[in-house]
Protein backbone atom coordinates (compact mmCIF):
# COMPACT_ATOMS: atom_id res chain seq x y z
CA UNK A 1 0.00 0.00 0.00
CA UNK A 2 2.84 2.36 0.88
CA UNK A 3 4.55 1.50 -2.40
CA UNK A 4 1.33 2.29 -4.28
CA UNK A 5 1.05 5.70 -2.64
CA UNK A 6 4.66 6.50 -3.46
CA UNK A 7 4.10 5.61 -7.10
CA UNK A 8 1.05 7.86 -7.36
CA UNK A 9 2.97 10.69 -5.65
CA UNK A 10 5.71 10.23 -8.23
CA UNK A 11 3.15 10.30 -11.05
CA UNK A 12 1.66 13.52 -9.65
CA UNK A 13 5.14 15.03 -9.33
CA UNK A 14 5.89 14.17 -12.97
CA UNK A 15 2.64 15.86 -13.99
CA UNK A 16 3.61 18.99 -12.05
CA UNK A 17 7.09 18.99 -13.58
CA UNK A 18 5.48 18.79 -17.01
CA UNK A 19 3.21 21.74 -16.24
CA UNK A 20 5.94 24.04 -14.91
CA UNK A 21 8.37 23.02 -17.63
CA UNK A 22 5.83 23.90 -20.31
CA UNK A 23 5.15 27.27 -18.67
CA UNK A 24 8.86 28.12 -18.69
CA UNK A 25 9.32 26.75 -22.20
CA UNK A 26 6.33 28.72 -23.45
CA UNK A 27 7.51 32.04 -22.00
CA UNK A 28 11.07 31.62 -23.29
CA UNK A 29 10.01 30.39 -26.75
CA UNK A 30 7.40 33.11 -27.34
CA UNK A 31 9.77 35.83 -26.16
CA UNK A 32 12.73 34.64 -28.23
CA UNK A 33 10.55 33.76 -31.20
CA UNK A 34 9.07 37.27 -31.27
CA UNK A 35 12.49 38.89 -30.83
CA UNK A 36 14.09 36.82 -33.62
CA UNK A 37 10.96 36.85 -35.85
CA UNK A 38 11.02 33.05 -35.87
CA UNK A 39 7.46 31.86 -36.37
CA UNK A 40 8.29 28.20 -35.74
CA UNK A 41 9.79 28.99 -32.32
CA UNK A 42 6.95 31.39 -31.51
CA UNK A 43 4.36 28.74 -32.46
CA UNK A 44 6.25 26.14 -30.46
CA UNK A 45 5.95 28.39 -27.41
CA UNK A 46 2.20 28.86 -27.89
CA UNK A 47 1.81 25.09 -28.14
CA UNK A 48 3.60 24.75 -24.80
CA UNK A 49 1.02 27.02 -23.16
CA UNK A 50 -1.81 24.83 -24.46
CA UNK A 51 0.03 21.79 -23.09
CA UNK A 52 -0.20 23.42 -19.66
CA UNK A 53 -4.02 23.16 -19.74
CA UNK A 54 -3.78 19.50 -20.68
CA UNK A 55 -1.17 18.93 -17.97
CA UNK A 56 -3.43 20.37 -15.28
CA UNK A 57 -6.14 17.89 -16.27
CA UNK A 58 -3.64 15.02 -16.09
CA UNK A 59 -2.37 16.14 -12.68
CA UNK A 60 -5.96 16.26 -11.42
CA UNK A 61 -6.59 12.77 -12.80
CA UNK A 62 -3.48 11.29 -11.18
CA UNK A 63 -4.43 12.76 -7.80
CA UNK A 64 -7.91 11.22 -8.08
CA UNK A 65 -6.47 7.82 -8.96
CA UNK A 66 -4.09 8.09 -6.04
CA UNK A 67 -7.07 8.53 -3.70
CA UNK A 68 -8.65 5.34 -5.04
CA UNK A 69 -11.24 6.93 -7.32
CA UNK A 70 -12.30 5.37 -10.61
CA UNK A 71 -10.45 6.05 -13.85
CA UNK A 72 -13.58 7.52 -15.50
CA UNK A 73 -12.98 11.15 -16.40
CA UNK A 74 -14.73 13.62 -14.14
CA UNK A 75 -16.33 16.91 -15.36
CA UNK A 76 -13.16 18.91 -14.63
CA UNK A 77 -11.01 16.63 -16.79
CA UNK A 78 -13.53 16.59 -19.64
CA UNK A 79 -13.76 20.39 -19.50
CA UNK A 80 -9.96 20.70 -19.54
CA UNK A 81 -9.77 18.37 -22.53
CA UNK A 82 -12.44 20.34 -24.40
CA UNK A 83 -10.64 23.64 -23.77
CA UNK A 84 -7.35 22.02 -24.77
CA UNK A 85 -8.82 20.68 -28.01
CA UNK A 86 -10.31 24.05 -28.96
CA UNK A 87 -7.06 25.86 -28.16
CA UNK A 88 -5.04 23.43 -30.27
CA UNK A 89 -7.42 23.91 -33.21
CA UNK A 90 -7.15 27.70 -32.95
CA UNK A 91 -3.37 27.44 -32.72
CA UNK A 92 -3.20 25.14 -35.73
CA UNK A 93 -5.31 27.52 -37.81
CA UNK A 94 -3.26 30.55 -36.80
CA UNK A 95 0.05 28.83 -37.50
CA UNK A 96 -1.18 27.56 -40.85
CA UNK A 97 -2.23 31.06 -41.94
CA UNK A 98 1.02 32.58 -40.65
CA UNK A 99 3.11 29.94 -42.40
CA UNK A 100 1.37 30.53 -45.73
CA UNK A 101 1.67 34.33 -45.51
CA UNK A 102 5.32 34.12 -44.44
CA UNK A 103 6.10 31.72 -47.27
CA UNK A 104 4.68 33.98 -49.98
CA UNK A 105 6.21 37.10 -48.41
CA UNK A 106 9.57 35.28 -48.26
CA UNK A 107 9.95 36.09 -44.60
CA UNK A 108 13.38 35.41 -43.09
CA UNK A 109 14.03 35.12 -39.34
CA UNK A 110 16.74 37.24 -37.77
CA UNK A 111 18.28 34.04 -36.45
CA UNK A 112 17.14 30.54 -35.47
CA UNK A 113 19.98 29.78 -33.07
CA UNK A 114 17.71 29.97 -30.07
CA UNK A 115 15.29 27.62 -31.80
CA UNK A 116 18.06 25.02 -31.93
CA UNK A 117 18.89 25.52 -28.24
CA UNK A 118 15.25 25.34 -27.09
CA UNK A 119 14.59 22.27 -29.25
CA UNK A 120 17.63 20.39 -27.92
CA UNK A 121 16.73 21.13 -24.30
CA UNK A 122 13.13 20.09 -24.95
CA UNK A 123 14.16 16.82 -26.61
CA UNK A 124 16.22 15.85 -23.56
CA UNK A 125 13.45 16.89 -21.14
CA UNK A 126 10.70 15.06 -23.05
CA UNK A 127 12.78 11.89 -23.31
CA UNK A 128 13.31 11.93 -19.54
CA UNK A 129 9.61 12.55 -18.82
CA UNK A 130 8.54 9.77 -21.19
CA UNK A 131 10.99 7.34 -19.55
CA UNK A 132 9.79 7.99 -16.00
CA UNK A 133 6.10 8.18 -16.91
CA UNK A 134 6.34 4.80 -18.64
CA UNK A 135 8.20 3.40 -15.64
CA UNK A 136 5.56 4.61 -13.16
CA UNK A 137 2.63 3.73 -15.42
CA UNK A 138 3.94 0.21 -15.90
CA UNK A 139 4.48 -0.26 -12.15
CA UNK A 140 0.91 0.91 -11.49
CA UNK A 141 -0.48 -0.97 -14.51
CA UNK A 142 -2.28 2.27 -15.33
CA UNK A 143 -3.47 2.67 -18.96
CA UNK A 144 -4.19 6.37 -18.27
CA UNK A 145 -0.65 7.18 -17.12
CA UNK A 146 0.88 5.09 -19.92
CA UNK A 147 -1.32 6.94 -22.43
CA UNK A 148 -0.06 10.25 -21.03
CA UNK A 149 3.51 9.02 -21.45
CA UNK A 150 2.81 7.95 -25.01
CA UNK A 151 1.20 11.26 -25.94
CA UNK A 152 4.15 13.14 -24.45
CA UNK A 153 5.92 11.80 -27.54
CA UNK A 154 3.98 14.35 -29.56
CA UNK A 155 5.83 17.05 -27.62
CA UNK A 156 9.04 15.27 -28.54
CA UNK A 157 8.00 15.29 -32.20
CA UNK A 158 7.27 19.01 -31.99
CA UNK A 159 10.78 19.56 -30.64
CA UNK A 160 12.27 17.57 -33.51
CA UNK A 161 10.30 19.62 -36.05
CA UNK A 162 11.56 22.84 -34.43
CA UNK A 163 15.13 21.53 -34.43
CA UNK A 164 15.04 20.55 -38.10
CA UNK A 165 13.54 23.88 -39.16
CA UNK A 166 15.90 25.95 -37.02
CA UNK A 167 19.04 24.01 -37.91
CA UNK A 168 18.02 23.96 -41.57
CA UNK A 169 17.76 27.74 -41.68
CA UNK A 170 21.01 28.23 -39.75
CA UNK A 171 22.88 25.96 -42.16
CA UNK A 172 21.32 27.07 -45.44
CA UNK A 173 19.78 30.51 -44.90
CA UNK A 174 16.65 29.36 -46.73
CA UNK A 175 13.86 31.47 -45.22
CA UNK A 176 10.92 29.22 -46.10
CA UNK A 177 12.27 26.46 -43.84
CA UNK A 178 10.97 28.47 -40.89
CA UNK A 179 7.53 28.51 -42.52
CA UNK A 180 7.71 24.76 -43.10
CA UNK A 181 8.58 24.29 -39.44
CA UNK A 182 5.56 26.35 -38.44
CA UNK A 183 3.39 24.26 -40.76
CA UNK A 184 4.69 21.06 -39.15
CA UNK A 185 3.86 22.39 -35.68
CA UNK A 186 0.37 23.34 -36.96
CA UNK A 187 -0.23 19.78 -38.19
CA UNK A 188 0.85 18.25 -34.89
CA UNK A 189 -1.23 20.80 -32.96
CA UNK A 190 -4.29 19.86 -35.01
CA UNK A 191 -3.69 16.19 -34.22
CA UNK A 192 -3.36 17.00 -30.51
CA UNK A 193 -6.62 18.93 -30.64
CA UNK A 194 -8.45 16.04 -32.30
CA UNK A 195 -7.14 13.60 -29.70
CA UNK A 196 -8.17 15.90 -26.85
CA UNK A 197 -11.75 16.04 -28.16
CA UNK A 198 -11.79 12.25 -28.56
CA UNK A 199 -10.70 11.81 -24.94
CA UNK A 200 -13.30 14.33 -23.77
CA UNK A 201 -15.97 12.22 -25.49
CA UNK A 202 -14.62 9.09 -23.80
CA UNK A 203 -13.14 7.58 -26.94
CA UNK A 204 -9.88 5.66 -27.05
CA UNK A 205 -6.80 7.77 -27.63
CA UNK A 206 -5.70 7.67 -31.25
CA UNK A 207 -2.19 8.93 -30.55
CA UNK A 208 0.06 7.85 -33.35
CA UNK A 209 2.94 8.70 -31.08
CA UNK A 210 2.94 5.21 -29.67
CA UNK A 211 2.07 1.76 -30.76
CA UNK A 212 -0.20 1.31 -27.73
CA UNK A 213 -1.95 4.43 -26.52
CA UNK A 214 -5.36 3.25 -25.38
CA UNK A 215 -6.83 5.32 -22.60
CA UNK A 216 -9.61 4.75 -20.21
CA UNK A 217 -12.87 6.52 -20.94
The reply to whether 85 falls in a domain is yes
- Kindly report, residue by residue over 76-127, the tens digit of the pLDDT: 777 888 888 889 899 999 999 988 888 888 888 999 999 999 999 999 999 9
For position 190, what pLDDT does the model report? 92
- Kindly report, residue by residue over 127-162, the tens digit of the pLDDT: 999 999 999 989 988 787 887 887 788 889 999 999
For position 213, what pLDDT does the model report? 42
The reply to whether 178 falls in a domain is yes
The reply to whether 205 falls in a domain is no
- What range does the domain containing 189 cover? 2-200
The reply to whether 123 falls in a domain is yes
pLDDT at 167 exceeding the cut of 80? yes
Number of domains in the chain: 1
- Kindly report, residue by residue over 168-178, the tens digit of the pLDDT: 999 998 988 99
36 vs 66, more confident: 36
Decide: residue 214, CB within 10 A, 0-12 exposed, 13-18 middle, 19+ buried.
middle
The reply to whether 215 falls in a domain is no
pLDDT at 212 exceeding the cut of 90? no
The reply to whether 53 falls in a domain is yes
Residues near 169 by Cβ (< 8 Å), separated by ≥ 6? Answer: 109, 112, 175, 177, 178
Q: Say what percent of the chain tops pLDDT 90.
A: 48
Span between the terminal Cα atoms of the chain, in Å? 25
Task: Say how far apart CA 5 and CA 38 lie, in whole Å.
Answer: 44
Q: How confident is the model at residue 24 (pLDDT cuts 50, 70, 90)?
A: very high
Q: What mean pLDDT is predicted for residues 175-194? A: 91
Helical packing angle, 75-104 and 39-66, nearest 10°: 170
Q: How confident is the model at residue 215 (pLDDT cuts 50, 70, 90)?
A: very low
For position 77, what pLDDT does the model report? 76
Q: What mean pLDDT is predicted for residues 4-21? A: 90
pLDDT at 4 exceeding the cut of 70? yes
Distance of CA 45 to the CA centre of its chain: 10
The reply to whether 146 falls in a domain is yes
pLDDT at 205 exceeding the cut of 80? no
For position 74, what pLDDT does the model report? 66
pLDDT at 209 exceeding the cut of 70? no
The reply to whether 210 falls in a domain is no
Amino acid sequence: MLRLRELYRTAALLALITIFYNIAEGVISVWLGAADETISLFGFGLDSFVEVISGIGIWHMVRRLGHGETADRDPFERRALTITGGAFYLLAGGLLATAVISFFERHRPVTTTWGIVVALVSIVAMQALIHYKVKVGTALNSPAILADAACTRTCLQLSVVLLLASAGYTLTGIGWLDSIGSLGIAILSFREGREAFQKARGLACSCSCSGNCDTVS
